[in-house]
Structure 1
């Protein structure tokens, strides 16, 4: 009997000390040593439904690189109260990346998007930290009837930490940020990504409508890189796989990011499909010595192996100098005019393609609230007439055909008493 009592006492003492040990571990594990405890990153805004001027203070516990970035949002409440305004349609999401000297160019792109939009737009602006204050100051200076058409968030540039420098320098500064949008904007279902040198000549809404035309396998939409194979780049010079006959151009890209996050992409590196987040780095490591156009080349490689995932829209949605410098070769623009102008190769800022520069300058100089016909369209038409000595200038009616309709709609919807 004494042996049983001793055994019971020993077990009791052991249980008490074990409990004290576990308790002490729990207590001290919650105390950061020297103030260097875990830091919580911000999560992307849960939109639509987010408020202007209220950054989401709750972040995910995961310490992945794509949770570590800074967000800054509009610093004023919604007109008419701080609550969420009820809208019949969810907001469209428009993303852009701006680094270096692209501030004014990006603001001009946003200006063209907001000016013609029908539905509310949520802007996702990824920019170097030194540009954040300038973006916010400029956007907040726009008149109230324009600000009521959009919300925005400004994000810091964010790449995987182990290869951040390599990603940032790929092709253009920060351009490859677009590849990581599905991983950063985790609460956003779909987004229109555009380069900073894009100008909308009709509402973003019309591009957004392509989402409803996707079949069950399509998860992204882009335009072909070229219409004419004899003067196209990819089929003549590329040293890597590319999509279709002439490749795709990623300057205007519509993404169903929910599908992109869940899809297993076929590839030439493994026998099994890889998720988007698993695919990017191995792809860069394999092809980095063979690519010329950076992230656009990587997208061409991805969709060359997964062509069923891509929806192609016509070249009028991504009209570039290549479509006119050797003569007109964009049939859809010849029929209906240019819907989106893409001034790549820096043509907005030099004299090589004055027709493109004229459109950019007309939109940049336009003052919100001024008569869009007399203050934008008519001065632009006068400038375009002066460019007819160039091949692109000879096609100048294409530059204003759709724009004239869009500006007429702006005039009809213009609020009184601005």
Structure 2
């Protein structure tokens, strides 16, 4: 940068001219940015009305603090509640043009697709990216995926297909290599499939709009046209109950219901958006894909419309999108029991919305029905704030799938969660009967040898 000297008598005139020059540049950029914004919206799957955009550009609405209000009968309202199917794209044609949408099968060739239970996980990241943090890196995704797969195979009596959605080959290949080292008892029950992340045409901006793969859950119904039902699970989760049991809930869906999540159970984090009841957590999501793909549901148009209108407010991204969607059509949701998404908050004591010392069971059903799945969100499996949940996770992570038998799990798990903590804390440890809640289903599925 060349320094500007201002010690001559012409300084003031030069300063005014330079200031005017900067103002012209800034105004030009603002105009270009405004037109670019309009062009992006015009090209999107959802055609947002120019009046709505102008409203936000004018500053008359605070996009951070006030929810978008849809007037009944307008195009905005139809997008929000799904009463218009105009312009809905042909998903199959898009997917067939995308060479990455279905790849690499690994598993027994004799599997019959009709006998498979389909579980989907999204594990983005690459081992080549050394800038990943502890909570977002490929190493974390790989280890958590291992623990989740281990827990499912130890407990299940069925055949499972794990659909692994990735944005880099190396993470999937590492999981494939890991599964290949398992004993036949486990390997004979799993088929894994690689799927590269997918976005609708003309919406590649979603890759960078939020954090990596944050919206991929929304597009899963469009990625598996020949699958009827899937259960999506965050990688930071482990089963304590046979996974086939959660699929049984599909039988309880009525004709209108096509999606199922658990309620948060305490204060919802994202402010100023419409939510379903007290808010839903998207760590575990059951989807009846064939119902979702019906034209009258208008899934893609509605979800993209929500992203366009609320993108500045979306903190939990896919979770917020689903809450907004189901707020307008609650009849589409089946309430999944809280035991299928047991989190650190399920044990926390809250006063005025803030956690305090001690423990309290916020998922009351777990006291009688046991914990079915543990979800280690907010880093619970990696930090010292929820050590009892971390001990459950580490039991599955360190279980040898090449040498240990399923019957050994209960003894190891019991020893682990009864062990006195040498660091950190655990609200769940303060909940009476928590060990019994954790062991209920492993004992029922595998038997008990816990007297040793």
Aligned to 1:365: 398
Matched, 1:233 2:268: yes
Tell me the alpha carbon deviations over residues 142-189 of structure 1, each in whole angstroms, 9 at most, x when there is no partner.
11110111211011122235333434553x531321111111111111
Paired residue secondary structure (2:293): helix
Matched, 1:184 2:219: no
TM-score for both structures, normalised by structure 1: 0.72
Q: Which has the higher contact order (CA 8 A, sep 6+)?
A: 2
1:76-155 equivalent positions in 2, closer than 5 A: 77-78=108-109, 84-85=110-111, 90-100=115-125, 101=138, 102-129=141-168, 130-155=170-195
Residue number among 243, 253, 268 corresponding to 1:214 in the alignment: 253
Give the Cα–Cα distance (whole angstroms) in 1 for the partners of residues 262 and 245 of structure 2.
Answer: 15
Matched, 1:250 2:282: yes
How far 1:71 moved relative to its partner?
3.9
Paired residue secondary structure (2:262): strand
Aligned to 2:426: 390
How far 1:238 moved relative to its partner?
2.1
Q: Taking structure 1 as reference, are residues 85 and 283 closer, same or farther at Cα in structure 2, changes over 3 Å only? A: closer
Give the Cα–Cα distance (whole angstroms) in 2 for the partners of residues 310 and 138 of structure 1.
Answer: 36
Q: Taking structure 1 as reference, are residues 308 and 123 closer, same or farther at Cα in structure 2, changes over 3 Å only? A: same
Aligned residues: 330
How far 1:401 moved relative to its partner?
2.9
1:6-405 equivalent positions in 2, closer than 5 A: 62-64=93-95, 67-69=98-100, 71-75=102-106, 77-78=108-109, 84-85=110-111, 90-100=115-125, 101=138, 102-129=141-168, 130-167=170-207, 170=210, 172-226=211-265, 228=266, 232-233=267-268, 238-244=271-277, 246-265=278-297, 275-326=298-349, 327-368=360-401, 369-370=404-405, 371-373=407-409, 376-383=412-419, 390-395=426-431, 397-405=433-441
How far 1:405 moved relative to its partner?
3.5
Name the Cα RMSD after superposition: 2.6
Give the Cα–Cα distance (whole angstroms) in 1 for the partners of residues 296 and 243 of structure 2.
Answer: 30
Q: Taking structure 1 as reference, are residues 377 and 76 closer, same or farther at Cα in structure 2, changes over 3 Å only? A: closer
Give the Cα–Cα distance (whole angstroms) in 1 for the partners of residues 314 and 96 of structure 2.
Answer: 25
Tell me the alpha carbon deviations over residues 242-274 of structure 1, each in whole angstroms, 9 at most, x when there is no partner.
101x11111101000000000534xxxxxxxxx
How far 1:374 moved relative to its partner?
6.4
More moved, 298-307 vs 97-106: 97-106
TM-score for both structures, normalised by structure 2: 0.67
More moved, 291-300 vs 112-121: 112-121
Query: Structure 1 unaligned runs (5+)?
Result: 1-59, 79-83, 266-274, 413-418
CA contact (8 A) 1:222 1:254 kept: yes
CA contact (8 A) 1:222 1:253 kept: yes
Aligned to 1:54: none
How far 1:276 moved relative to its partner?
1.0
How far 1:379 moved relative to its partner?
2.5
CA contact (8 A) 1:363 1:376 kept: no
Q: Taking structure 1 as reference, are residues 135 and 360 closer, same or farther at Cα in structure 2, changes over 3 Å only? A: same
CA contact (8 A) 2:107 2:192 kept: no
